[in-house]
Amino acid sequence: MTGDASSVRTVLTRGGRTIRPAQASPPIRQVLADRRELIAAARERAQSPFQTIRTYALTTPGKLIIICLLLAAGSIITGVYASTVLDDRTRTLQRLIDHTEPLAEAAQVLYSSLSIADASANAAFISGGLESPELRQRYADALATASSSLILATGTASEPGSESAEDATEQAISADLETLSTSIPVYSGLVETARTNNRLGNPIGSAYLGQASALMQDKILPAAQRLYELRSMAIADPQQSLTRPPWTVYVPLLLLLTALVLTSRFLARKTRRRFNIGLLAAMAALTLGTVWLLVSGLMSVAATADARNHGADPLHELTAARILTQQARSAETLSLIRRADQGGLERTFSATTSKIDDILDDVRSTAEESSDSVTTEQLDAVGRALVDWKRTDAAIRRYIQSGDFDRARQLTVGDGRNSSALAYAAVDSGLVEAITTARTAFRDDINTAQRLLGFTGTGILLLSILAAMAIVGGLVPRIREYR
């Protein structure tokens, strides 16, 4: 057996080589195969960056990075949006007080001055011969005021410097302004012709005055009234939106605060830390901005509502009452010129004075006992003067029907204690005083609303930027901990 073993060993080691039995799979090959698989997987991941990002986004640091970017961007976007909305409100309020309301006031003065000029021209004519200096001066002052008001009322309804397209409202305003600018000189020329013939005793003077009055009543005054109504609409339209709180700003601020609270809870659960200074600072900044907006916004809305209820609305109604007053006075003075149309002029006077009574009742129902708005004492004074005027006009009608035109003329244009001219002047001056009070209340409330908003938009923008910086400062250190 020993010899056989030696011979076998000799055969296996022949040629200086040791021949071993073959193994199933060498270990080095397995290692190389595993390495090739890893390299292939790495190459596959490198060829798909979106897959890498998605994989990383599912990790905790990836989630924190996404949350940090979203919160910081949301904070800045919210601040910019809030600043834009609030600055637009502030500019609208400023435009109301500096541009829109003065245009409406100029249109109101234009109509009233034209009516006063027409009534003064009629009164000067029916006084006979050379008119009194008071009537002549009243006519000249009214016409001069109308001319200056026409220049002021010509201003565009859009913001100065804007390049907005001309809409239907602007076209209507332009047409009325053109009518006024071309018709007023014609009217004054007819009045001067009538006055000259009246001084010379020519009967044709009444025809010229009738033509001038017809031009005023049928063309000039309707255009002036339409102009005032359009200018008044420019005041009423922005107030509809300004009397509503800026809910579109509150919503993103509250959503951002909610997201910060949820992020703080998520971070506390992941890092085992109860508070994060950065997130707390961001929440404090946004909470301060929200409270600031809540207080200033609601107070501004309240001031704007007061401007509408105690300023713009009574101002519009009282201005309408003054327009009716001028119409009633024109009908009264024309009754001594157009003696063939007594019934129509009397109905016009009765209808207009009844409307004035209704307007006074409406304004009285909302009037406050305050020096900052129209008071019931002012309205009662106008009401008493209106009663005296209607009583005097009824006496004038009786004198006209009985043919006593001299007595009717004395009551209409005379300066006696019971004259219609004094009663009309009392009504007109009382309405002017109430209109001035309402206008002052409107402007004061709008100024208050503007001051309350003040720098709220800029303040919220700065607080939002501060919150974004605090968010980044609070989350970046937590993200670095995962490296």
**pLDDT score at 326:** 85
Is the pLDDT at 165 greater than 50, yes or no? no
More confident residue, 458 or 237: 458
Domains contained in the chain, number? 1
1-16 confidence digits (pLDDT tens): 444 545 545 544 544 4
Rg of the chain over CA atoms, in angstroms?
A: 43
Is 419 domain-assigned? yes
pLDDT digit string, tens, across residues 295-333? 998 898 888 888 888 888 888 899 889 888 988 888 887
Q: pLDDT at residue 161 above 50?
A: no
**pLDDT at residue 98, rounded to an integer:** 85
Cα 331–chain centre separation: 38
pLDDT at residue 225, as a whole number:
86
Tens of pLDDT along 53-91?
Answer: 566 556 777 788 888 889 999 999 999 999 999 988 888
Amino acid identity at 24 = A
Judge whether 44 lies within some domain.
no
Residue 422 lies in a domain: yes
For residues 120 and 23, which has the higher predicted lDDT (pLDDT)? 120
Is the residue at 152 inside a domain? yes
Range of the domain at 418: 59-480
Stretch 350-369: mean pLDDT, rounded?
Answer: 86
Please state, in angstroms and rounded to a whole number, the distance separating the CA atoms of residues 172 and 209: 29
Query: Measured at the alpha carbon of residue 194, what is the angle toward residues 193 and 198, in degrees to the nearest 5?
Result: 120
pLDDT, greater one: 25 or 433? 433
Kind plus residue range of the DSSP H or E element containing 394: helix 376-402
Average pLDDT on 391-413 reads 83
Helices (H), 154-272: 168-200, 204-215, 221-242, 247-271
Say if 1 falls within a structural domain: no
| Residue, of 374 and 124, whose pLDDT is higher | 374
Instruction: Please give the pLDDT value at position 45.
Output: 57
pTM over 0.85: no
Q: How is residue 100 annotated by DSSP?
A: I
Better pLDDT: 357 or 44? 357
Whether the per-residue pLDDT at 432 is higher than 70: the answer is yes
8 Å CB contact between 278 and 468:
no
Mean pLDDT value of segment 216-245:
83
C-alpha distance across the termini of the chain, in Å: 70
Residue 26 located in a structural domain? no
In this prediction, residues 244-252 reach a mean pLDDT of 87
> Residue 466: what pLDDT?
94
* Type and span of the H or E element at 301: helix 277-307
**Residue 43 located in a structural domain:** no
